[in-house]
Amino acid sequence: MKEKWKILIIDDEPINTEILNAILKNDYEVVISNNGKEVIALTEKESPNLILLDVLMPGISGFDICKGLKANPLTEKIPVIFITNLKDAEDESYGLTIGGVDYISKPVSAEILRARVATHIALNNHRINIESKVARRNAELIEIQRATIHMLGEAGHYNDTDTGVHIWRMAAFSGVIAKAAGWHDEKVKMIKLAAPMHDTGKIGISDKILKKTTHLNKEEWNIMQTHTSIGHNILLKSSSELFLTAADIALYHHEKWDGTGYPVGLENEQIPESARIVAIADVFDALTTKRPYKEPWPIDKAFDEIEKMGGNHFEPSLVELFMKNIDAILNVKKMWDNEEQVTKKKFLFPLEN
Ligand SMILES: [Fe+2]
Ligand SMILES: [Fe+2]
């Protein structure tokens, strides 16, 4: 059986609601109200597909009701048609500016009413369809973006000794520092998405070097340092702000505040802030997790070490913010450490088999 669309009719005169009901009841499920004041609650409860609304009612005007409906996220998208005696063109245009979709004058013609109701319900259904298609497409794009980041992050660490969770945990630390540094939400979100790709360039470094547990000789060290520019070149293939930020981070995440880092030897504010933030997060995570060549450091010792590195390796004011947000950092760590345990149980990373 075909679904019947629901129409809510509001008019203080029962005779008027009866006339409209008589015209529409065979084709629609009709809900009637003669009390303008209950409309918003009734609309939330009934979720009609369309509302027919009288303008002149005692105590409250249809225009005010319409404004209330349009200001409420639960009811804002329901089309409202005004039904009224007002013939004034100004009133009509006012009704349309506050969100009404149409205007029908009394006495109502049955044909016109049926035609307009059908048209507006069809238009609204069309809008709903398009919106849900756009929402599905957006969700798909977000998933593609997430998967791309994940794959680039994993690719960078595929032959490395860091675990898969490292990239997400250090990204979350980066988010905490960026937020503390006053970044607005969108930018914080962006650094959290860009940071996991910081070591993408390690895909271009031999695993003999990446997995070496003894000190790298000069030549090996020079090769190792190129993971910054390799990552940068890979990530620059996209012109989106997210990947450009990631390219910057990849290139500069080993620069140091005092100018002794690599690959360029930039110092202070010459280093992009995103890379200055990620540098702290990356080192802190490396200190506090197990690697084949070392046990995790006790958390207090790791915080002390980061603090000591303020002014030489790291920007001092960012270190200060990091230290002020120890609780948030520890929360993030706890969450991702748990996640790591779950992930390890669910599936082994390919190289750990
Ligand atoms: Fe790196
Ligand atoms: Fe890293």
Q: pLDDT by residue (tens digit) across 221-252?
A: 999 999 999 999 999 999 999 999 999 999 99
Stretch 32-49: mean pLDDT, rounded?
A: 93
How many Å lie between the centroid of ligand 1 and the Cα of residue 268?
19
Stretch 58-80: mean pLDDT, rounded?
A: 94
Q: What is the 3-state secondary structure (H, E, C) of 81-136?
A: EEEECCCCHHHHHHHHHCCCCEEEECCCCHHHHHHHHHHHHHHHHHHHHHHHHHHH
Counting ligands in written order, which one lies closest to the CA of residue 285? 2
Q: Phi/psi of residue 12, each to 5°? A: -70, -20
How many Å lie between the centroid of ligand 2 and the Cα of residue 196?
8
What is the value of pTM for the model shown?
0.74
How many Å lie between the centroid of ligand 1 and the Cα of residue 259?
17
Select from 167, 169, 175, 171 the least CA-distant residue to 202: 167
- Is the bond into 263 cis (omega within 30 degrees of 0)? yes
List pLDDT tens digits, range 141-187: 988 988 898 888 888 888 776 667 888 899 999 999 999 999 999 99
Mean pLDDT, all residues of the chain: 91
Stretch 125-133: mean pLDDT, rounded?
A: 95
Helices (H), ranges, the chain? 14-24, 39-46, 62-71, 89-97, 110-157, 164-180, 185-194, 207-210, 218-225, 227-235, 241-252, 273-288, 299-309, 316-324, 326-346
Residue 7's H or E segment, with its range, is: strand 6-10
CA dist 131 and 77 (Å) reads 11
3-state secondary structure of 243: helix
Select from 228, 239, 224, 310 the least CA-distant residue to 263: 228
Structural domains in the chain, CATH included, are 6-132 (3.40.50.2300), 158-352 (1.10.3210.10)
Residue 189's pLDDT band (cuts 50, 70, 90): very high
CA dist 3 and 226 (Å) reads 64
How many Å lie between the centroid of ligand 1 and the Cα of residue 93?
62
**pLDDT at residue 63, as a whole number:** 93
Counting ligands in written order, which one lies closest to the CA of residue 262? 1
How many Å lie between the centroid of ligand 1 and the Cα of residue 254?
6
Cβ-Cβ contacts under 8 Å for 2 (sequence gap 6 or more): none
Counting ligands in written order, which one lies closest to the CA of residue 228? 1
How many Å lie between the centroid of ligand 1 and the Cα of residue 251?
9
**pLDDT at residue 88, as a whole number:** 67
How many Å lie between the centroid of ligand 1 and the Cα of residue 69?
53
How many Å lie between the centroid of ligand 2 and the Cα of residue 345?
23
How many Å lie between the centroid of ligand 1 and the Cα of residue 76?
49
How many Å lie between the centroid of ligand 2 and the Cα of residue 159?
13
Positive or negative torsion for Cα 254, 260, 266, 271:
positive
Residue 352's pLDDT band (cuts 50, 70, 90): very low
**pLDDT at residue 345, as a whole number:** 53
**pLDDT at residue 10, as a whole number:** 95
**pLDDT at residue 266, as a whole number:** 97
**pLDDT at residue 68, as a whole number:** 95
List pLDDT tens digits, range 214-226: 888 999 999 999 9
How many Å lie between the centroid of ligand 1 and the Cα of residue 24?
69
**pLDDT at residue 172, as a whole number:** 95
Name the one residue in this structure whose structure tokens are 């590195």.
309
Counting ligands in written order, which one lies closest to the CA of residue 224? 1
